[in-house]
Structure 1
Amino acid sequence: MGNDESNADPNSETKSGGSMHRTQNQTQDPSEAVSHLQTKSSLCDADGLKDSLRTDVHSDTEDGHLKCPAGLILKQRYQVVSTLGAGASGKVMECVDGQKGERVAVKVVKKSDTLCAAALSEVSVLQEINSLDDDNRFACVRMLDWFQHEGHVCIVMELLGPSTFDFLRQNHFLPFSLQQIRLVAFQIFRAISFLHRNNLTHTDLKPENILLVGSEKTQTGPSCFNVKVVDFGSATFDHQHHETLVSTRHYRAPEVILGLGWNQSCDVWSLGCVLMEYYLGRTLFPSHDSKEHLAMMEKVLGPIPSGLLQRTRNQQFVKNQQLNWDELSSSNEFIRKHCQPLTTYMRTNSEEEQQLFDLLSCMLEYDVSRRITVEEAVWHRFFSPLRKLKQT
């Protein structure tokens, strides 16, 4: 589940009693639902559901999550098996599709105007992705169905394995090998390039939103590294309104922090941070606030161009056309301990490591006009072994 500032760990939910709760909801056009949401601001609130959807106040927890005990049946079709994960916006359940006899993942969104609207937007995006990629060539999660259950938007998707963040954690944050990084990155880059060609920016790329296709939890060989990108709740088309703040903090591009506006290249910056996290086994920028985050960038990548700083409306970031940062602060001690110039992270001086870090330096470029595109990144020489393999 997408979350701006924190990583939500999966956690199980249990409830006594084995009775099955059955309800029937008709699938509707998400654009119609969004329009209805705009005209009825309380559509997804418990108090307002009586205007449009049947409500059972006893089916929700105090914080708005739907209670999903094992055995609960949704849409008279999907029987809950277990909770796969939970976050601030909802939870993901493993269910059995009673019609097809297959296991699926059902994302159950909390009751909230904002979250409901984001979920309906995600439905529209996933429908578009399914339509544009009907051969399933690109590594984006497939939506199988969607419906509303007692005011909760529910999105049915293919069942995938653990996220790459969970994979790192389960392997005690052992860094990925270069071969693993190459395999994962090539799939992600092709998927995001597909999105960008179709005028869509993901805006929340991070290890938690990149899932293994298989369910292997401890396998470290590269054969298990087929992945898919998930969580399109914040995805934005080029023609749509661009929110000022996007991306989870650690993967947020400098132009977003400085409030300079953003475009598809913010995904490229996020992916650069993701690849470094795979390489290091830890977050590249373990920041706690925006100014500290910018100071970390300078430690790793060098000074932020004065032209960018001059354009920001947040002048607390700027002093004498430079980043306003106290080198004697306790936070600076933290930065010195956890951040160092990019190339000094290289484990060896091998040609393939040089290729990887050349790619990373092109992705972690302050100037949006000079930052590499995902389409260009796919053709970087770091991926030459995979292209040669496809030709044989």
Structure 2
Amino acid sequence: MLILNSKQHGPSAQRKPQRFNLGGILKKNFAWKKSVNSLASTLDTVQLDYPSPAIAGIDAIPGSPPQRKSSGVLQAGLVFAGKSHGLVPSASSAFGDNYTTYPACLSDVLIPRSENAPMSSSESSADDTPFNTECISLLNSDLTSEMNMDNVFDSYFCCSKPASAESDVISFNEHSEEKITDYSILGYHPVKIGDEFTSDISRYRVLRKLGWGHFSTVWLCSSLISGQFVALKIVKLGKNYTEAALDEISILRLLQEDDKGYPVDDSPVVSLLDHFTIQGPNGTHIAMAFELMGENLLHLIFQNKSQKFAAASQKEPVSPYLLPVDTLRLIIFQLLQGTDYMHRHSVIHTDIKPENILITHKAEISGDIFPLKIPTKFQILPSQPLHQSTSAEEPIEIKVADLGNATFCNLHLSDHIQTRQYRAPEILLGHSWGALADVWSIGCLIFELLTGDYLFEPNLGASFTKDEDHLAQIIELLGVFPSMEYAQDCERYRKYFLDNNSLRHISKLKFWSLESVLEEKYKFDMADDNIKLLCDLLLKCLRYDLSERYDCGSLMAHPFFKKDAKFDQRECDELPNNNFNVPGFTCEEQAP
């Protein structure tokens, strides 16, 4: 959402803001947000051979992110031997041909970026990236890959070309997967199909790659003890990653056990089944075995956008809804339910977004999930998440996942939270924050599930930062500036505002209400009761004042979730808001 491409004054400044353009259904090209870059490697060669049995150290190296604040929970029992961070000599002769040394320059390919695309965090000024230092899975939330609409969906859904008879290399889209340079010091653990990993309670065999992120790679595995299928998450090396993984384990255990330590049935959060360590060529990695889930909501969004794009190309009638209303209602309610469950257990997710909401996989695991060709040497493989039917006959079920950045209501592990598009104003402005930061993210996600586009998509300008553009977009949508009473508690208010009615570097704003956006841009019928109710629900999530922002439990009683609900303004206005019952809903405080 851009206010103006150049923030110029004059008549041209009165046109509609260039808002909500990312991923537009009928646009030929669009910027696709993904974590496609990670810790930069300065090595001439990437070492993927197993060196000696010694374990590499994980102490911070020059240029590494500052330490994540740690709760100190579950951090005993891991011993790391010190080792220099230089390039390890090749040991392929000692360990056979299972691992290969790659020149970094062959795969460290920079993805072209259009002239108007946002700058990466490494190219923008330090003033513009105050939140990119400690929150390790958010380091690349501002990076953009430019992809052509003709192949974006195939590449995202991992439709790789089969390997040729002459080659042992399985093809993959290098722009959609992790980079080979990230398998160097402090990087990923090199995993091959057929690898086996042993914990205290099981032994897991790797069957297929499910996905990856800045934090880890994820693999479909079978337990050789129980026969159960699991998703094995193998975390990157590095002190920040290890501490975050240990904090995630402690938080998941808290959410999965009752007061007496017994497992909780039907938890709305993805279940952790096992955790252990893996010794790799560069050090010891944390591994976590989760219950097997299907694809995430981002896949669902892309799938439905692809279908709408194809239908529009054939000049077929297209509904403005990205998802059927009943599916939308079910997903939002379960998302509120899962987040409320965490909040009632004094846990804040801090990174609610489509990638972190998983669809329950109900289908049987069949033989077609196994790769037709298994490479003999390590190589990057295409991600192949388990697709799940979302037909109306089988109601969709979701669970909240990826608590690598989660924190406690009474002990914030980091203040650098939330992916850019879902970041709340209290985080941008340095206000106290609490559980209701998740609710702002849910509001942004509701819009994305409704339209397929980001609600807020800030850009870096010549005279303003992404944070200031982000604040301008929020003000334009909500139609009001933060109150002076709210501003007095914001550390960075004067950095962006001259007074309570003007931004420091963006003088021209074009207010465009949510109702007008949906009607004028997305062609929704504003006489539709569902749209009216959704607007009210969404705006209850997007309030500056944390005492006025609704909590998830209160929103679950919203009339939108009633069968055949009709819009009644009085009923919406009188919806009770019990956010004060949520521990730490506005700030870091002792839970009752």
Q: TM-score, normalised by structure 2?
A: 0.54
Aligned to 2:253: 127
Q: What's the secondary structure of 2:234's corresponding residue?
A: strand
Aligned to 1:163: 296
Choose the corresponding residue for 1:317, options 480, 496, 521: 496
Choose the corresponding residue for 2:554, options 360, 376, 381: 376
Aligned to 1:343: 515
Q: Which runs of 5+ in 2 are unaligned?
A: 1-31, 38-70, 86-94, 101-181, 309-321, 362-385, 460-465, 566-592
Q: What's the secondary structure of 1:261's corresponding residue?
A: coil
Distance 1:8 1:119 in 2: 18
Deviation at 1:360, TM superposition (A): 0.8
Work out whether residues 180 and 225 of structure 1, in 8 Å CA contact, stay in contact via their aligned partners in 2: yes
Work out whether residues 407 and 414 of structure 2, in 8 Å CA contact, stay in contact via their aligned partners in 1: no
Distance 1:36 1:72 in 2: 24
Work out whether residues 309 and 322 of structure 1, in 8 Å CA contact, stay in contact via their aligned partners in 2: no
Pick which of 348-357 and 121-130 moved more.
348-357
* CA pair 194-300 structure 1, distance change in 2 beyond 3 A: same
Distance 1:178 1:254 in 2: 29
Aligned to 2:470: 293
Choose the corresponding residue for 1:199, options 330, 338, 346: 346
Work out whether residues 304 and 323 of structure 2, in 8 Å CA contact, stay in contact via their aligned partners in 1: no
Distance 2:442 2:551 in 1: 11
Q: What's the secondary structure of 2:471's corresponding residue?
A: helix
Is the counterpart of residue 306 in structure 1 residue 483 in structure 2?
Answer: yes
Distance 1:116 1:242 in 2: 14
Correspondences of 1:31-180 after superposition (within 5 Å): 33-35=74-76, 43=80, 47=84, 61-62=183-184, 64-75=187-198, 77-132=203-258, 134-150=263-279, 151-172=284-305, 174=308, 175-180=322-327
Distance 2:399 2:255 in 1: 13
Deviation at 1:327, TM superposition (A): 4.8
Structure 1 residues 65-92: Cα deviation after superposition (integer angstroms, max 9, x where no partner): 0001101101171111121111211111
User: Of Structure 1 and Structure 2, which has the larger fraction of its residues in helix?
Assistant: 1
Deviation at 1:362, TM superposition (A): 0.7
Deviation at 1:302, TM superposition (A): 1.4
Deviation at 1:220, TM superposition (A): 5.0
Distance 1:264 1:317 in 2: 25
Deviation at 1:168, TM superposition (A): 1.2
Aligned to 2:407: 236
Distance 1:380 1:321 in 2: 32
Deviation at 1:47, TM superposition (A): 4.9
One-letter identity of the residue aligned with 1:169: F
Structure 1 residues 356-380: Cα deviation after superposition (integer angstroms, max 9, x where no partner): 1111111111111100111101111
Distance 1:363 1:142 in 2: 27
Deviation at 1:310, TM superposition (A): 4.1
- Return the index of the structure with the highest Cα Rg: 2
Work out whether residues 45 and 113 of structure 1, in 8 Å CA contact, stay in contact via their aligned partners in 2: no
One-letter identity of the residue aligned with 2:273: L
Pick which of 71-80 and 264-273 moved more.
71-80
Structure 1 residues 171-192: Cα deviation after superposition (integer angstroms, max 9, x where no partner): 3365122211110111111111
* CA pair 189-61 structure 1, distance change in 2 beyond 3 A: same
Q: TM-score, normalised by structure 1?
A: 0.80
* CA pair 319-172 structure 1, distance change in 2 beyond 3 A: same
One-letter identity of the residue aligned with 2:439: V
Calculate percent identity across the aligned residue pairs: 28
